[in-house]
Amino acid sequence: MELEATTSPLFPESPASQIQFSRTWYELASDSHFWMEWRFRVLQQLMVDLGLDKTKYLSVLDVGAGTGVVAAMIERTTQWRVDGVELNPRALECAYRGRGRMFLYDIREKRSEMVGRYDVVLLLDVLEHVEESVLFLEAAVAHLNPGGRLVINVPALPKLYGRYDRAVGHLRRYSRSDLISEAKQAGLQVECVRYWGLSLIPLLVARNSWLRWHSSTDSHPTHIVHRGFHAPWWLGKLLKLTMQVETLLLSSPPVGTSIIMAGVRSSNPLKIESSPVDKWHHKASALFDSMYHSV
């Protein structure tokens, strides 16, 4: 089901930001896109594992909300209220209107009416666009109420950073250890870290190769984003089936194209020890890197 486009209220005092982010991505990233469905299914499972009851009221802040696709998906399946904040006014012009509100707001402002009020703050594929990522994470943590959770999703596997990443505005792809390190520096006690999208790794490698081979014919970022994210209907259906199988059999694969993390405020974040599972995932990621370099 496609989302209804509506206008949304803005913070009148928050300045708009000139963000280098392709409008094409917003147009392609509907709630029916296979990747958006896959990420949302992973998010839903994480929320269940954290013990967050979808039948009870929770206040959620979606940072980098875009046109409100995630807010719509959450509000459609829970009793939660999702506020969205965004720095791209063009995205807000056609944003979803639901139980929550949409704001033109930079969380680094830490406005008194916004900090400390949310049960959950979402940073879904936002952090990789930010230069000072630890300071941005600190600002996100500041918007949590006591006991609130910060949920982060980022692209994984730094060795696979390519033309599509540059075109869509990614400054980096993350390793598991790098994301954990930044989270701890920002005052977050990590509860859960998972890879997802194991089955998408061959597709990511193929996309990088295909875009590299066509680099001389078309280098416009809009075209790169369209080619890198758009999927023909048959491929979309195949990948949705793949999603169902992988998420059923592997809730936490050893490696994947994305990493999702959840954590709470920590009084002593730098002394958190890695769990045996964390160490096993780190070894699996290192093995993948070595295999990739040997090809």
Q: How many residues does the chain have?
A: 295
β pairing state of 144-155 and 118-124:
parallel
Average pLDDT rounded to a whole number, residues 240-268:
90
Average pLDDT rounded to a whole number, residues 110-139:
96
Q: Can you tell me the distance from the alpha carbon of 196 to that of 193, in angstroms, rounded to the nearest whole number?
A: 10
Q: Can you tell me the distance from the alpha carbon of 64 to that of 68, in angstroms, rounded to the nearest whole number?
A: 9
Q: Taking 70 as the threshold, does the pLDDT of residue 240 lie above it? A: yes
Q: Is 112 helix (H, G, I), strand (E, B) or coil?
A: coil
Q: Taking 80 as the threshold, does the pLDDT of residue 16 lie above it? A: no
State in Å, rounded, how far the first CA of the chain is from the last one. 41
Per residue in 137-177, pLDDT (tens digit) is 999 999 999 999 999 999 999 999 999 999 989 999 999 99
Task: Please answer whether residues 287 and 202 qualify as being in contact, where contact means their C-beta atoms are separated by less than 8 angstroms.
Answer: no
Give the percent of the chain with pLDDT over 70.
Answer: 79
> Lowest-confidence range among 34-43, 95-104, 150-159, 172-181?
95-104
Could you tell me which residue, 111 or 27, shows the higher pLDDT? 111
| Per-residue pLDDT, 282 | 57
Q: Name the H helices within 129-175.
A: 133-142, 163-168
Q: Can you tell me the distance from the alpha carbon of 132 to that of 229, in angstroms, rounded to the nearest whole number?
A: 26
Query: Residue 56, exposed/middle/buried by CB under 10 A (0-12, 13-18, 19+)?
Result: exposed
List, in order, residues 6 or more apart from 119 with CB less than 8 Å away: 58, 59, 60, 144, 145, 148, 149
Task: Please answer whether residues 263 and 189 qualify as being in contact, where contact means their C-beta atoms are separated by less than 8 angstroms.
Answer: yes
| Per-residue pLDDT, 150 | 98
Residue (of 258, 280, 269) closest to 46 by Cα position? 258
Could you tell me which residue, 70 or 229, shows the higher pLDDT? 70
Task: Please answer whether residues 230 and 28 qualify as being in contact, where contact means their C-beta atoms are separated by less than 8 angstroms.
Answer: yes
How large is the greatest C-alpha to C-alpha distance in the chain, in angstroms? 54
Q: Taking 60 as the threshold, does the pLDDT of residue 63 lie above it? A: yes
Domains of the chain, earliest start first? 23-294 (3.40.50.150)
Could you tell me which residue, 141 or 13, shows the higher pLDDT? 141
Q: Taking 80 as the threshold, does the pLDDT of residue 83 lie above it? A: yes
List, in sequence order, every beta strand (DSSP E) within the chain.
59-63, 81-86, 102-104, 118-124, 144-155, 188-196, 258-265
Task: Please answer whether residues 71 and 96 qualify as being in contact, where contact means their C-beta atoms are separated by less than 8 angstroms.
Answer: yes
| Per-residue pLDDT, 187 | 92
Task: Please answer whether residues 202 and 256 qualify as being in contact, where contact means their C-beta atoms are separated by less than 8 angstroms.
Answer: no
